[in-house]
């Protein structure tokens, strides 16, 4: 029996919130986001006027809020949030960060405690940078899906940190979605060389690839999206806007 008072996770500054998924395969779908603290990448080259830290969620995940499972469940049950009821009604439970799989062992404990407490299995989708291999229990026990966002050379981190062939093969084999932030034309060549042309055994089907503009605000999205959309058309892959920016502009204020 898990002691809910002793087990904990490190949550970001925006913790848990209910919204619509803004990117990728499940865009527009009601979702309860649980954003975890910490990341193993910087994405420092994604810096723009409206995203001065590079990563657009750095301002949140860089802050650690140590919360017991008991406190997290209390937040999820709070009538002003209704997070558990949203999940009962098929909202996606989006586990994101930062990089959520840094806390994978605790997350597995948390989800087992969730199912035990509430007597249902929510629909789970991870957002991950595809540098850490998921435990197979996420598929066999929780039927989770994965939305990966592998980082290309243009993100500014060393390739030995961003490109993990074993992890990428796991995601390709498990039908994960591959969502690429496009920052320059060279990104397209890199995607084809590393992810499509069977390099190191990685061969992602085109229907599982999404191109997404690099931007940190509605204004930057409007400028960047048309070029990326044309790339997606020419390469026969999916295009993803960043819908949350178009609706709410900068979601995380500096």
Domain ranges of the chain: 8-182
- How many C-alpha atoms does 150 have within 13 Å on its Cβ side? 31
> Are 99 and 128 spatial neighbours (Cβ–Cβ below 8 Å)?
yes
pLDDT value at position 21? 97
Q: Is the peptide bond before 98 cis (omega within 30 degrees of 0)?
A: yes
Fold of 8-182: TIM Barrel (3.20.20)
Mean pLDDT for the stretch of residues 223-252: 93
Q: What is the mean pLDDT of the chain?
A: 94
Strand partners, 65: 11
pLDDT in tens, 150-188: 999 988 899 999 999 999 999 999 999 999 999 999 999
- Grouping H, G, I as helix, E, B as strand and the rest as coil, residue 213 is strand
- Residue pLDDT, tens place only, 184-219: 999 999 999 999 988 888 999 999 999 999 998 999
CA separation for the pair 225, 132 (Å, rounded): 29
Q: Highest-confidence range of 42-56, 92-106, 197-211, by mean pLDDT?
A: 92-106
**132 pLDDT band (50/70/90 cuts)?**
very high
Question: Mapping DSSP to helix (H, G, I), strand (E, B) and coil, where does residue 244 land?
Answer: helix
Is residue 52 scored above 80 in pLDDT?
Answer: no
User: Higher confidence at residue 88 or residue 156?
Assistant: 88
Q: Residue 62's pLDDT band (boundaries 50, 70, 90)? A: confident
For the CA atoms of 163, 146, 42, 97, the dihedral, rounded to the nearest 10 degrees, stands at -160
Which candidate, 30, 48, 51, 53, places its Cα nearest to that of 243? 30
Q: Classify residue 235 by burial, with Cβ atoms within 10 Å: 0-12, 13-18, 19+.
A: middle
Exposure string (b/e) for 145-180, b if CB count within 10 Å is 16 or more? bbbbbbbbbbbbbeeeebbbeebbbbbbeeebbbbb
């Amino acid at each position: 029996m898990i002691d809910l008072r002793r087990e904990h996770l490190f949550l970001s500054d925006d913790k848990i919130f209910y919204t619509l998924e803004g990117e990728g395969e499940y865009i527009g779908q009601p979702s309860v986001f649980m954003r975890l603290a910490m990341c193993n990448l910087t994405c420092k080259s994604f810096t723009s006027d409206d995203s001065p830290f590079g990563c657009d969620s750095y301002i949140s995940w860089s802050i650690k809020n140590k919360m017991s499972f008991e406190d997290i469940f209390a937040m999820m049950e709070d009538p002003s949030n209704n997070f558990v009821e949203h999940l009962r009604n098929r909202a996606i439970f989006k586990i994101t960060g930062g990089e959520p799989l840094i806390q994978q062992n605790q997350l597995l404990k948390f989800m087992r405690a969730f199912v035990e407490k509430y007597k249902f299995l929510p629909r789970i989708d991870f957002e991950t940078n595809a540098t850490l291999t998921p435990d197979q229990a996420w598929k066999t026990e929780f039927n989770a899906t994965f939305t990966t966002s592998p980082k290309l050379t243009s993100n500014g981190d060393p390739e030995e940190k961003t490109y993990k062939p074993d992890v990428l093969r796991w995601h390709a084999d498990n039908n994960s979605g591959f969502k690429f932030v496009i920052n320059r034309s060279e990104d397209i060549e890199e995607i084809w060389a590393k992810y499509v042309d069977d390099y190191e055994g990685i061969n992602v089907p085109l229907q599982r690839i999404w191109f997404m503009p690099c931007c940190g605000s509605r204004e930057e999205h409007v400028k960047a999206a048309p070029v990326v959309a044309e790339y997606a058309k020419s390469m026969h892959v999916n295009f993803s806007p960043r819908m949350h920016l178009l609706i709410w502009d900068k979601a995380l204020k500096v």
